[in-house]
Amino acid sequence: MNKSNRFSALVLAADRTTHDPVASSAETSCKAIAPIGGIPMIIRVLDALESSEMIGRIIICGPPASVLPDCPELQQRIESGRVDWLPNLDSPSRSANSGLAQIDHDSPVLLTTADHALLTPAIVRYFLCESSAMDSDATVGVVKHADVSAAFPGTKRTVIRLRDGGVCGCNLYAFFNHRGRDLVTFWQKAEDLRKRPWRLILQVLGPGAVLSYLMGQLTLNQALNTVSSRVGVKVRTVTLPYPQAGVDVDKVEDMMLVEAILAGGALSFENGDESKGRYPDV
């Protein structure tokens, strides 16, 4: 992919709350720099983005400037211009809008998070290639809950239960134009309700959809079509064949799971990933 056609990547890297449990457990000043297998999570994410060969520019929103000296490798990347840093705002959606404002409107954008510790170049490539092939303003990455449960028995993930099967989010979003970026405005309304799917559906899709959801009759396409109609953004989903894409590090239990996956060699770099040298324990 020519550099002019590459995506810009925006990585949200600030804690949602003070005294984040993962940061506290890892004894770090911010969750994003908590080490996984000896490597800060945000460095794992940045390496996956760079190695995908589909990213031309990387912007991170957060962590706060006061935290940067605690992660020398991240600070060095910022100082060298390898990564652009912006201060985070008071919510993920506002931070996302702040980052998007720094990116040319004609540039396609990948949005992800610093706690995506199992992100690989293969996941990035698959999501962006599939997204680019769709007729959409924006895409959202999901994995089948059944795939996550089969790969990692006993793990608890937030599930949107639909008639055509439950799905888990992947913290992967692609925006292709200014309409697609308007999805972040919708996100501002939705982010506080992400752990309560029926309330989110009520506010976004209306009471009829809530009834369908509660009765197990709502399908993914119905939900997306309604969002597209109400928000004015053509949104499509990319269902990824990588169950690890549905595992982010929200809780201490997640951190333990990710450590176990990497230490046990349960995760491999599919489709010819060339970053094994960076992660000898995988």
Rounded mean pLDDT of the chain? Answer: 82
Beta bridge partners of 2: none
Number of folded domains that form the chain: 1
Q: Is residue 145 assigned to a domain? A: yes
* 24-45 pLDDT tens trace: 999 999 999 999 999 999 999 9
Helix axes 207-214, 220-231, angle to 10 degrees: 170
Q: Is residue 102 assigned to a domain? A: yes
What are phi and psi for residue 103, nearest 5 degrees? Answer: -115, 135
Whole-number percent of the chain with pLDDT over 70: 76
* Residue 162 or residue 43, greater confidence: 43
Is residue 99 exposed (0-12), middle (13-18) or buried (19+ Cβ within 10 Å)? buried
* pLDDT band of 265, cuts 50, 70, 90: low
Place of tokens 């510790």: 117
Per-residue pLDDT, 269:
36
Helix (H, G, I), strand (E, B) or coil at 198: helix
Per the structure, the complete domain to which residue 136 belongs is given by 3-185+236-251
Alpha-carbon span 120 to 48, nearest angstrom: 5
Q: Is residue 204 assigned to a domain? A: no
Q: Is residue 166 assigned to a domain? A: yes
* Residue 117 or residue 276, greater confidence: 117
Alpha-carbon span 166 to 215, nearest angstrom: 14
- Please count the other Cβ atoms lying within 10 Å of the Cβ belonging to residue 196: 11
Place of tokens 């940045």: 46
Alpha-carbon span 205 to 226, nearest angstrom: 6
Q: Is residue 106 assigned to a domain? A: yes
Q: Is residue 47 assigned to a domain? A: yes
* Residue 163 or residue 173, greater confidence: 173
Per-residue pLDDT, 106:
80
Alpha-carbon span 176 to 192, nearest angstrom: 25
Length in residues, the chain: 282
If you ran DSSP here, which 8-state letter would residue 31 be given?
G
CATH number of the domain that residue 100 is part of: 3.90.550.10
Q: Is residue 264 assigned to a domain? A: no
Full-model pTM: 0.83
* 80-123 pLDDT tens trace: 999 999 999 988 888 999 999 999 988 999 999 999 999 999 99
First and final C-alpha spacing in the chain: 27
* pLDDT band of 159, cuts 50, 70, 90: confident
Q: Is residue 219 assigned to a domain? A: no
Of 144, 154, 131, 168, the C-alpha closest to 52 is 131
